[in-house]
A and B are shown apart, each in its own frame.
Chain A
Amino acid sequence: MRKYLAQRLLIAIPTLFGVTLLIFIAMRVLPGDPLSAISGEGAGMYVLSKEQLQAARASLGLDRPYVLQYLDWLQDVVRGDLGKSFWRGEPIRELIVRRAPITGQIALMAVVLSWVIGLPVGVIGAVWRNSRTDYVFRLVVTLFMAIPSFWVALMIVLSLVLTLTWRPPLTIAYLWDDPVRNLQMTAGPALALGLALAAMMARITRSSVLEVLGEDFVRTARAKGLREAVVVRRHALVNAMLPIMTVTGTALGALLGGSVAVERAFGVPGLGLALVFAVAERDWMLIQNLVLLYGVIFVLINLVVDVSYGWFDPRIRYQ
């Protein structure tokens, strides 16, 4: 197992290296740089001269050869120094520390919600296949898979404002500082994201459980006289967990990477929103480091998911 983990982590290094190279090149290939954004339309009543722009670019180190810029960045990252936002001058590490807990909490709550709703709905649909309950569940699942999360988010905000004259907080409140405000802030986005994810989870669970229920070992379990609930829980569901874990891992990675539209709808100052503004502002340093962070998150989550396969299915051994 240790060897497997070490191998996977070693493989992650070239993957992350590739991520850094791709995002660095992508930002340089795209037209515009942080200075053009700062001096751009809407910035004020002025236009910086070419000389002023050149001086400002030099002050940010943007006039150096790309190779040097890239190597310096990698060196800083290895040292743990993520640099500063070009636009706001804020250390990127501080930005991540401030915003990541909110985005992470929303992602985790959404995943938990998707399990709490999606797994029972999927299992019931599979066990009572083609029953009236199954049809109703399938209808609801299809509906929530079709409706975009940001629309659900907008509806939640709108209905709260119009009916209760209330809306979730717009400034950050951490769970450990102010649990009530924190839950007011995160519950809505988690619900909007969790419902769509729950629909997907229910669908995957239903098809996986259905497949497993047709297996020989399930027939054997039934033949031994086990109760149907035990058959489903101990034999079918556990063996159906592999695709559910894969979906969970991918979804968690995507949500941690920024549920941008939902964050935008609720006005939650999370990482996703930071990345959107960074792209608009051509804040290269922030974009590079956030994308690298997402790369690391995805690699780690995939690793955890792979390792979890062995826990759910003892036949899987890592060598």
Chain B
Amino acid sequence: MDQPRLVGNVNRRRFLKTTAGAAVAAWSLKGAARARAAARSDRARAAEPNPKRGGVLKWAGPAEVAHFDVHQGAFRFVLGQMYNNLVRFNPADGLKTIIPDLAESWKVSSDGKTYTFKLRDGVKFHDGTPFSSADVVATFSRIVFPPAGMASIYKDQFSAVAKLEAIDRLNVRFILKEPQPYFLELFTPSSMIIYSKKALDENNQDLRKVIAPGTGAFMFKERKVAEKWVMVRNPNYWDPEIPYLDGIELLHIPAWTDRGTAVLTGQADYSPNVSLETHQEGIRRKDIVGTVRYPGEFNSYQVHINNERKPFNDPRVRRAINLAVSRQNLIKAFGTQEPIMLTRWMTHASEFATPLKELEALPAYRADKSADLAEAKKLMAAAGVADGIKNVDFVSASVAPHAEILAPAFQDELRRTLGIETKIRVMERALLIEELKKGTFDMMVQTEYRSPIGDPGPGWEMCLKTGGSLNFSRYSNPEFDKLLKQINSERDKGKRKQLFAQGMALLDQTAPLYLIGFTDHLPMWRNTVKGHNSEARVFSELGRVDTFWLDR
């Protein structure tokens, strides 16, 4: 995929012939060049023609970090604004296609095992250090083969990488153990930023305490802890067209309602996710704000069922629960909090997801429960628990939506339909992880069933494969593991879709957990904010704001 060149300057000549004055000509020339640049599909651009320049965007969201090392878990959406990836999703088409970022182009070998990235020349980090293949190798070596003492949280995602190496100053090669159809997409999240080798070496491979210079469109200016981050435009950015903004202020507003009211009242220009009630108010206030719902793959709600504890180690019991408990009822009960969407084992945004109409007719997913309930009772009887189950330990985080809505609603469904009596054990959210790791629960309301990218493959690896890092239900099924290996190495999309369908059918039967659904995202923006293209988005990678512009 080579970089296309700007085509000719015929328009420019014609234009100059018709302009009256040199000043006007110069101004218009700049505008025409921008319009052409905006039309190019391989660089991040605002979707709208002729974006205006200047202004400071106030972004409202979770803008606090525990430290500054993204690859060790620092909050990526804040820090990511100062860096680049190798590739990224295209903001102009709602983050649907992959376009170059620091990699100018890339090639995939015919066996799908070698990815060669040609890097952009002339790029510099904010401290003036030139960018080269050494930085890419240093960055990903640290992720894939972390040094002692480093908590590389993205290591598992790159487990297919056997080797990575610099071919020369501007070419890098990743060699995989086996082909991975989603490998390129793994480089797109804002967590996959490139650090400079110099910064890594100077800090002993640990950037938790330093804000390392990036190559990104914005440079660090100021951080007020738990209040805001201030970043300014990088005047030497390698792409002269962007950013359109002079700077950004990332306001730390943890509460979704506060984010919504901040945008509604003009204290913030944009928020990636607001509360349902402020989103609804936003719909009524189209004169000042815009807001949409788009499907996300990051947030889900589920009830983990401990597959190692009796009687839930029997797939018939788990299947019975999945058949009997009404997802529609749970979604309705939670409707005042967040819009959960009906789905089947993966985000509803995925191209591999079962279409909603088809899903609504499937057992366990349909609204009419009469047939499902009869089947569930048969399964319970066959598993020897026809009279129900007593004293089930049901853990929930102490946050109100979990402890006061979802857990009681699920408890009521279980009791009414299958005679399963649960005792809700509420505990602080921060402590759930210990319970999950130890497996000291029968059931638990949780939110960590997801995939790191839009493709559900790596998500299934983490959440459903035997020993997966987020497999908190302790599901272990060799048949599924074998199928998953096939899914995650099959490069033909059609075949892969069939394999995913087989996987979902298998999961329906063996029911590792009870997935309620994935949530929709609710961004809101002042009408003056352009270049985000939220209306076209299909998944929830919040992304960078380098293509945002202010129509003031």
Q: Which residues of A contact B (CB under 8 A)?
A: 31-32, 36-48, 52, 55-56, 87-90, 94-95, 98, 157, 161-162, 165-167, 169-172, 264, 267, 269, 274, 277, 280-282
Contact = CB atoms under 8 A, between A and B. Distances in A.
Contacts of B154: 45-46
B267 A281 contact: no
Interface string B221-262: 000111110000000000000000000000101110010011
A41 B265 contact: no
A44 B153 contact: yes
A167 B469 contact: no
Given A45-B452, A88-B65, A161-B261, 10 more contacts: A39-B433, A40-B429, A87-B66, A88-B226, A89-B209, A94-B225, A98-B224, A170-B268, A269-B226, A280-B429
B165 interface: no
A94 B226 CA distance: 12
Contacts of A280: 428-430
B307 to A, nearest CB: 17
B199 interface: no
B401 to A, nearest CB: 13
B64 interface: yes
B247 to A, nearest CB: 15
Contacts of B224: 98, 171-172
Contacts of B429: 40-42, 280
Contact of A171 (B156, B227, B285, B437): B227
Interface in B211-227: 224-227
B360 interface: no
How large, as a class, is the contact surface on chain B?
A: 35 or more
Contacts, number: 120
B73 A44 contact: yes
8 contacts: A40-B431, A41-B436, A41-B447, A95-B226, A165-B265, A170-B251, A171-B227, A282-B430
Contacts of B434: 31-32, 36
A291 B77 CA distance: 33
The 5 residue pairs across chains A and B that have the minimum distance between CB atoms: A37-B430, A46-B153, A40-B433, A90-B225, A267-B258
A167 B459 CA distance: 40
B284 to A, nearest CB: 10
A171 B470 CA distance: 36
B462 interface: yes
A40 B267 contact: no
Nearest to B146: A52
Contacts of B151: 46, 48, 52, 56
Contacts of A88: 64-66, 225-226
Given A88-B66, A280-B429, A170 B288 contact: no
Given A36-B433, A39-B433, A267 B253 contact: yes
Given A171-B251, A269-B227, A45 B433 contact: no
A269 to B, nearest CB: 6
B149 interface: yes
Contacts of A41: 397, 429-430, 432-433, 436, 446-448
Contacts of B428: 32, 280
B430 A40 contact: yes
A63 to B, nearest CB: 15
Nearest to A154: B257
Residue of A37, A41, A169, A172 contacting most chain B CB atoms (<10 Å): A41
B511 interface: no
Contact of A167 (B262, B446, B448, B452): B262
A169 B226 CA distance: 15
Contact of A32 (B73, B267, B430): B430
B267 A89 contact: no
Interface string B440-470: 0000001110101000000000100000011
A165 to B, nearest CB: 6
Given A43-B73, A161-B264, A171 B431 contact: no
A46 B225 contact: no
B261 A47 contact: no
Nearest to A46: B153
Interface string B147-188: 001010110110000000000000000000000000000000
B67 interface: yes
Contacts of B255: 264, 267
B430 A281 contact: yes
Contacts of A162: 281
A89 B67 contact: yes
B261 A157 contact: yes
